[in-house]
Structure formats: structure tokens, C-alpha cells
């Protein structure tokens, strides 16, 4: 039984309006059924079309997933090195790459691409994916079988790989008219990709890629906004997501169910520090500046934003006035950061002084791991737990440039205040900005008009794909 605190209503719909399929074993993935006890009901319902697409996808995955006849047949063709184009199922393999926030965003992007192109998504488990998440699809695993012939090559795939789509194009080694094609295609979509790799985002190129039973994708980018600019996908996307800003919100809630181990981290922390508060504020502090943290200008920025935007009350620095209220309102601040200092600073401010409003502010930080250590299992479990906990808050402040924060805002359905990236070690003015939407930002989008074959500002083509608040050249759906 779950111990539910007063503010949580008993939900009628643990499956989020049909977003999630029924029929899973509850014990093997508690978060799937219990998350609804911790989340406020989403203001956003998935469209019936999205729901039907997901059920169709699940059938496809059952029929074509790992170790099915179709899968074995397709692997045989892959090994043969020839593209005979007769396989009845097609696949897109997501290669495990980059920090956990990035991975979550790219997995959602590749899954959306799989939905759009009727491919089966297979997930490279890397070192720790299997310990972090539950299986999202009924009956068949989403993980690439360990004996998949190319797993050992994944690490070596990079911008220079001769077999990448971009390099084949650049060297005139591939075209639609070619008779014999390789048995797979490597798509290099990481931040360092070049103009040829970016041809992925052109419809004509998609027609060619459609001929491959196997696509292998390495990416650290949420590339969804650019899919919206492709005429071949636009209609389908509009049908799936009549409310455009809910793409990651729905796909994230559909795909990412924390494993029981991570769920333990989340629920214990929530019950101990957050559930009893009247209100929860999440503050994600991710500072990319070099040098010994904490930085005073960041401490100032956090205060300027939270107090300036009235997310937290001011303190009475001079006064020793006792708080008159017998039952003051308690606000819990959940701070996440690799370092300890920002938390310590804020906790002390609200411990040492009364607030002007009489509210009591409790500040909590689950961990301070000091450094990114993406290969250590418990490290990433904590990272996932913290992204998830942030998503359970009522109001959210995130840091510019950080995918960690994007995951929290998307899962939570929250439009955060974004702390601007500081320049020259000074507090930015204004310190933060309210996000236009809860969608993540695509950090390295293409600026190319596929039809006119020339450069173009892709952030100015349609009203619902704009440049991001935190990265001026990025793109996001708004």
C-alpha cells in the first residue's frame, strides 16, 4: 500500500487517459502504477490519435521485437551486408550516448521518429539503461539483444565514420538511384555533426533512408522541433499532438518509468521531505562555468530570480520579529545540483532569518555528486530520481542549457523559469525568464531550406517553432 499524504487525491486513472497500456505486472514496475499518486493530474490529455498510434506501435513491437521471426530474419540480412529490401519489419537502433538527461530526450526523439516511420525502436542498454528504467512496451523488450552483431562498433561511431550517412553523401557514395545499398545506415546526429549529416532533416533523404531495414542513430539532441518543419511528417505530428507543446510531456510519461530501485529513491525522498509541505518549489542548479563552485554571482542570481518572480519570500534581515502565525505555510524547496554550496546558502538564509510573509521555507537537496560520472550506476540512478522529483514540484526553476532541467519540466508539464547562463562571471540581468513552453530545446538544429537548397533561419518559418529562451540558435516547439 502506498502511504498517500493529504494533498494527493486518490486517482481514478493511473493510465493517464489511455496513454499507458494496461496488462503489465505491477510488482515488476511499481512506478508505472504508482506515479499517479505523486503527480498532479496532467492538464494535458493525450489525443485519441496518439493513443491509437501507441497501441499500433505496441502491436508492431510485439510482432517485430527482439527474437521474433521477423527480427531474426532482419538480423540475418544485416549480417549478409546486403540490402535486399524485403524484410517485413524495419528498425531504428538508439545508441546509448551522453549524460542521462540527454539520453532521455534523444530516446523520446528517436521513438517519435520510429512512430513516424513505422520502425521498431531498439535500445542499446549501454552500461546502465536496464537498471534505470522499466520496459515500456508490453510483452517484448525494447532492449537490443546482447548478441546483436554490431554492438561493439557503437562506441567507435563518430563524425569521421566512413559509413555514416553524412560521409557517404559527401563522398558521393550513396544516392536514391543506386542499385545496391548497404545493409544498414549509421546516422550521426550528435552536436558535432556537419551539413551532410543534417540532410537527415530533408524529405528526399528520408525517402532514401526508408529503404534501409536498419538505422543506427547516435545523438545527444532533442531533434523533434526540426521534424515539425518537414512536410512529410508535419500532418502526422499535428494529428498526434494537436497541442504541440505536449510532445515530450506525453512521450516522456509513456516511455520513462523508473525501475523499482530508482522508484524507491524517489518515493522515500518525496515522503520524507516534500509530501507534507503546502507547496513545492524545484530549483535545478546546473552551472557550466569552470572554477571552484559555488560562485557568489550564481547565489545572487538564484535569489534575484526566486524573490524577483515572487517564487520565494524575502527575508527580514534586520528583524528578529517572531512569526505571529500559529500554523504558518510551509514551502519545501527541492534543490538539485552537483555541488553543495548553493543549497547551503539558501538553507541558511531561510534558517537564520524570518520571512516577510511568515512562511516557513525548508530547503532540501538529495545529493551533491560533485562531478558528472555518467558511467557509475548509482550516480545515474540518483540523477534520474532527482529529475523525477523536480518534475513533482508545483513550480520549477531550471538552468539554461541543461537537458536535466528539460526532462523535469517536460515530465512535470511545467513551464519553468530559466536561470540565464552567466557571462563574464556576473549575475545576468534579468536573472531568469519564464519559458514559452514546457518543450525541450533542440541545441544544434539545422539551418537549411531543403527545397531551395540554401541556408535559412529555421526559427522563423512557422509560429510554433521558435528560437529557445536559453540558447539563441536553438529551436523549440512553443
Smallest gap from Cβ 212 to ligand GDP, in A, equals: 28
Q: How many residues bind ligand GDP (CB under 6 A)?
A: 21
Residue with smaller CB distance to ligand GDP, 47 or 380: 380
Q: What is the C-alpha to C-alpha distance for residues 399 and 246, in angstroms, rounded to an integer?
A: 21
Smallest gap from Cβ 204 to ligand GDP, in A, equals: 32
The DSSP code sequence of 144-158 is: PPTT-TTGGGGGG-S
Residue 154, CA distances (Å) to 115, 126, 171, 187, 216 in order? 23, 10, 22, 11, 9
Q: Are 197 and 188 in contact (CB under 8 A)?
A: yes
Residue nearest to ligand GDP (CB): 99
Piece in contact with ligand GDP (CB under 6 A), picked from 56-64, 87-95, 303-311, 371-379: 371-379
Task: List beta partners, residue 418.
Answer: 398, 433
Piece in contact with ligand GDP (CB under 6 A), picked from 58-66, 80-88, 180-188, 332-340: 332-340
Residue 88, CA distances (Å) to 41, 57, 69, 120 in order? 40, 15, 10, 11
Smallest gap from Cβ 413 to ligand GDP, in A, equals: 20
Smallest gap from Cβ 134 to ligand GDP, in A, equals: 19
Task: List beta partners, residue 361.
Answer: 331
Smallest gap from Cβ 216 to ligand GDP, in A, equals: 21
Q: Considering only CA atoms, give the Rg of the chain.
A: 23
Label residue 306 exposed, middle or buried (CB < 10 Å: 0-12, 13-18, 19+). buried
When binding is defined by CB under 6 A, the residue of 402, 409, 427, 458 that contacts ligand GDP is 402
Smallest gap from Cβ 423 to ligand GDP, in A, equals: 18
Residue with smaller CB distance to ligand GDP, 61 or 280: 280
Is residue 98 near ligand GDP by the rule CB under 6 A? yes
Residue 197, CA distances (Å) to 117, 226, 329, 440, 461 in order? 19, 14, 54, 22, 21
334 Cβ neighbours under 8 A, 6+ residues apart: 273, 274, 280, 281, 282, 283, 364, 365, 366, 389, 390, 393
Is residue 102 near ligand GDP by the rule CB under 6 A? yes
Interactions with ligand GDP, residue window 404-463 (CB under 6 A): 404
When binding is defined by CB under 6 A, the residue of 362, 367, 421, 436 that contacts ligand GDP is 367
Strands 417-419 and 432-434: antiparallel
Smallest gap from Cβ 104 to ligand GDP, in A, equals: 8
Smallest gap from Cβ 403 to ligand GDP, in A, equals: 3
Is residue 391 near ligand GDP by the rule CB under 6 A? no
Buried b (16+ CB within 10 A) or exposed e, 88-120: ebbbbbbbbbbebbbbbbbbbbbbbbbbbbebb
Smallest gap from Cβ 442 to ligand GDP, in A, equals: 13
Smallest gap from Cβ 319 to ligand GDP, in A, equals: 33
When binding is defined by CB under 6 A, the residue of 17, 372, 456, 461 that contacts ligand GDP is 372
Task: List beta partners, residue 279.
Answer: 331
164: left (phi over 0), alpha (psi -120 to 50) or beta: beta
188 Cβ neighbours under 8 A, 6+ residues apart: 157, 158, 159, 161, 164, 165, 166, 197, 218
When binding is defined by CB under 6 A, the residue of 386, 439, 469, 470 that contacts ligand GDP is 386
Is residue 99 near ligand GDP by the rule CB under 6 A? yes
Strands 120-123 and 91-94: parallel
Per-residue x/- track, 279-298, ligand GDP (CB under 6 A): -------x------------
When binding is defined by CB under 6 A, the residue of 47, 70, 337, 458 that contacts ligand GDP is 337
Per-residue x/- track, 132-171, ligand GDP (CB under 6 A): ----------------------------------------
Residue with smaller CB distance to ligand GDP, 306 or 403: 403
Q: What is the C-alpha to C-alpha distance for residues 443 and 288, in angstroms, rounded to an integer?
A: 15
Is residue 380 near ligand GDP by the rule CB under 6 A? yes
Piece in contact with ligand GDP (CB under 6 A), picked from 94-102, 340-348, 414-422, 468-476: 94-102
Q: Are 214 and 163 in contact (CB under 8 A)?
A: no
Residue with smaller CB distance to ligand GDP, 206 or 380: 380
Is residue 126 near ligand GDP by the rule CB under 6 A? no
| Angle between the N-to-C axes of helices 403-412 and 247-255, in degrees from 0 to 180, rounded to the nearest 10 | 90
Piece in contact with ligand GDP (CB under 6 A), picked from 135-143, 335-343, 353-361, 432-440: 335-343
When binding is defined by CB under 6 A, the residue of 213, 357, 403, 422 that contacts ligand GDP is 403
Which positions touch ligand GDP (CB under 6 A)? 98-102, 286, 336-338, 367, 369, 372, 374, 379-380, 382-383, 386, 402-404
Amino acid at each position: 500500500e502506498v502511504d498517500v499524504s493529504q494533498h494527493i487525491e486518490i486517482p481514478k486513472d493511473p493510465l493517464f487517459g489511455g496513454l499507458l497500456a494496461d496488462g503489465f505486472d505491477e510488482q515488476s514496475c511499481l512506478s508505472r502504477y504508482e506515479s499517479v499518486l505523486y503527480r498532479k493530474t496532467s492538464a494535458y490529455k493525450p489525443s485519441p490519435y496518439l493513443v491509437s498510434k501507441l497501441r499500433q506501435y505496441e502491436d508492431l513491437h510485439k510482432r517485430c521485437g527482439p527474437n521474433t521471426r521477423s527480427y531474426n530474419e532482419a538480423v540475418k540480412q544485416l549480417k549478409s551486408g546486403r540490402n535486399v529490401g524485403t524484410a517485413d519489419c524495419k528498425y531504428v537502433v538508439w545508441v546509448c550516448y551522453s549524460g542521462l538527461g540527454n539520453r532521455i530526450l534523444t530516446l523520446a526523439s528517436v521513438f517519435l521518429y520510429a512512430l513516424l516511420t513505422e520502425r521498431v525502436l531498439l535500445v542499446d542498454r549501454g552500461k546502465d539503461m536496464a537498471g534505470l528504467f522499466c520496459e515500456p512496451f508490453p510483452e517484448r523488450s525494447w532492449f537490443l539483444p546482447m548478441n546483436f552483431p554490431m554492438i561493439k562498433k557503437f562506441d567507435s561511431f563518430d563524425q569521421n565514420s566512413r559509413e555514416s550517412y553524412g560521409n557517404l553523401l559527401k563522398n558521393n557514395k550513396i544516392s536514391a538511384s543506386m542499385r545496391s545499398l548497404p545493409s544498414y545506415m549509421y546516422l550521426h546526429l550528435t552536436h558535432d555533426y556537419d551539413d551532410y549529416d543534417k540532410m537527415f532533416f530533408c524529405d528526399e533523404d528520408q525517402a532514401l533512408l526508408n529503404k534501409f531495414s536498419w538505422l543506427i542513430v547516435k545523438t545527444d539532441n532533442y531533434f523533434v522541433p526540426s521534424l515539425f518543419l518537414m512536410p512529410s511528417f508535419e500532418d502526422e505530428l499535428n494529428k498526434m499532438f494537436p497541442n504541440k507543446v505536449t510532445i515530450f510531456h506525453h512521450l516522456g510519461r509513456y516511455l520513462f518509468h523508473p525501475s523499482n530501485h530508482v522508484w524507491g529513491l524517489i518515493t522515500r525522498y518525496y515522503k520524507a521531505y516534500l509530501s507534507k509541505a503546502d507547496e513545492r518549489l524545484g530549483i535545478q542548479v546546473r552551472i557550466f562555468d569552470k572554477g571552484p563552485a559555488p560562485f557568489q554571482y550564481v547565489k545572487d542570481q538564484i535569489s534575484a530570480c526566486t524573490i524577483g518572480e515572487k517564487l520565494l519570500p524575502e527575508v527580514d534581515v534586520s528583524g528578529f520579529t517572531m512569526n505571529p502565525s500559529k500554523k504558518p505555510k510551509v514551502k519545501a524547496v527541492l534543490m538539485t545540483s552537483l555541488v553543495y554550496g548553493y543549497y547551503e546558502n539558501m538553507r541558511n538564509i531561510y534558517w537564520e532569518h524570518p520571512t516577510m510573509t511568515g512562511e516557513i521555507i525548508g530547503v532540501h537537496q538529495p545529493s551533491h555528486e560533485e562531478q558528472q560520472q555518467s558511467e557509475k550506476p548509482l550516480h545515474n540512478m540518483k540523477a534520474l530520481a532527482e529529475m523525477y522529483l523536480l518534475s513533482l514540484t508545483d513550480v520549477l526553476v531550471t538552468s539554461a542549457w541543461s537537458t536535466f532541467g528539460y526532462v523535469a519540466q517536460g515530465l512535470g508539464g511545467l513551464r519553468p523559469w530559466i536561470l540565464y547562463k552567466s557571462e563574464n562571471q556576473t549575475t545576468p540581468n534579468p536573472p531568469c525568464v519564464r519559458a514559452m513552453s514546457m518543450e525541450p530545446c533542440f541545441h544544434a538544429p539545422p539551418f537549411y531550406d531543403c527545397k531551395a537548397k540554401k541556408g535559412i533561419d529555421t526559427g522563423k518559418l512557422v509560429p510554433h517553432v521558435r528560437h529557445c529562451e536559453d540558447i539563441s540558435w536553438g529551436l523549440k516547439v512553443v
